[in-house]
Amino acid sequence: WLFSCSTVRTHQSQSNVSAASCGSESDLCGLTGVLDDCFCDVESIDVFNNFKLYPRIKKLTEKDYFRYYRVNLKRPCPFWPDDGHCAIKDCHVEPCPEYSQAANTISDMNDCEQAKELGAINSTLSNQSKQAFADWARHDDAQDHFCELDDETSPDAEYVDLLLNPERYTGYKGPSAWRVWNSIYEENCFKPRSVYRPLNPLAPSRGLCLEKRVFYRLISGLHSSINIHLCAEYLLDEGWGRSVWGPNVQEFRQRFDTAVTKGEGTRRLKNLYFLYLIELRALYKVAPYFERAFINLYTGNSQEDSATKELLLQVFNEIRTFPMHFDEKSMFAGQKLEAKTLKEEFRLHFKNISRIMDCVGCSKCRLWGKLQTQGLGTALKILFSEKEIQNLPEHSPSKGFQLTRHEIVALINGFGRLSTSIHQLHSFRLLLKDNR
């Protein structure tokens, strides 16, 4: 899970991290200027995200509607034999060993107690929350759904409080970590396209059609974002006292330093910004869906629901002020039949990636991987559905386009993770400057 981008095979050879800095405060790993495939620059995105959007999106994801995510974490890996879930204390809670000669050690008992604190999926829910979920389900069932509900309807699916289960480093380095990302990059191939769109010759993924290049940039950006979260929330101390998480500059350099990654670090981070712009554009496009008066972010508390929707509309208004939105027309252009085929390909790819996430041995990593994959898939669904959104009736649901609670929660939290990554990059700039 922790290995960066498509160069995971070089990880072991990079164990001796270069002492060279990623660059100056204003030029982190060469990360500056205009991004490939669009006319947006890194500096403008930094200012917009860190000072305008990030504070609002952070507050929004703390609202009750967005903090609970229904997910099935018990699905078996469908692609290779299960190599076992993470057995270290940071990943999840194991039953305490029986008191015996074999287990009668301070280390064993301490591991058991620490396991409860460090990395377990915290499923603690108040009785009030449990009662509310049944009401939520009845409300959602009455809505006009468009897409399949996937594993949120599974009998094994449970609500998870995302605020009690933050995404952070757990220490998991099991074999499935390698397999998962290799499978995502290598197994999700596109069929030959009838229309070949020429590439920017300066773009890194030469020889690929635009759609395929975009797909891999999105996955690389997602992978980079996840690595930044883990570097920023790294387990620094697990001694006798309370465990401490915080930024680990060495881990960050190992994944993004130009010297260590042979220049790959810059591309990885630029793919993060590219993904950010894609999801930002999706939020811009879907705003009319939520602005309709009858759309209610329902939790049963009318005052809270009204405040949550108002905050969401403030986020949309802030997004409208951004001057350099990604132009998706070149990606989704083409004949109606071709566009429909491409949409189905993308949908199947992200459904497949979500299934691959079931192979991650660390429960917490699996939770956040599935959520962020679902969020990106929902963003692409929105971009492929521009005409349907434009034709939505003002005062009634439409079968042409509909979002489930599951998709809405994943969309906002997934974008929130990208916004957090870019905000955390600013913190790493300052730390790198101080450590030079």
Q: What angle do CA 244, 428, 221 make, to 5 degrees?
A: 100
Active-site residue numbers?
362, 365
Residue 123 annotated as binding? Answer: no
Q: What is the SS3 assignment for 236?
A: strand
Phi, psi of 392, deg, nearest 5: -65, 135
* CA torsion through residues 376, 377, 378, 380, sign: positive
Residue 13 annotated as binding? Answer: no
Residue 170 annotated as binding? Answer: yes
Q: By the 8 A CB rule, do 71 and 371 touch?
A: yes
Q: What is the SS3 assignment for 368?
A: helix
Residue 255 annotated as binding? Answer: yes
Q: Which residues contact 352 (CB under 8 A, 6 or more apart)?
A: 187, 188
- Dist. CA 377–CA 368, nearest whole Å: 14
Residue 181 annotated as binding? Answer: yes
| Residue 435: both structure tokens together | 């450590």
With 0-12 CB in 10 A as exposed, 13-18 as middle and 19+ as buried, what is 112? middle
Beta bridge partners of 34: 41
Q: By the 8 A CB rule, do 416 and 60 touch?
A: yes
Helices 302-320 and 264-291, interaxial angle, to 10°?
120
State the binding site for FAD: 168, 170, 181, 220, 223, 255
State the binding site: 168, 170, 181, 220, 223, 255
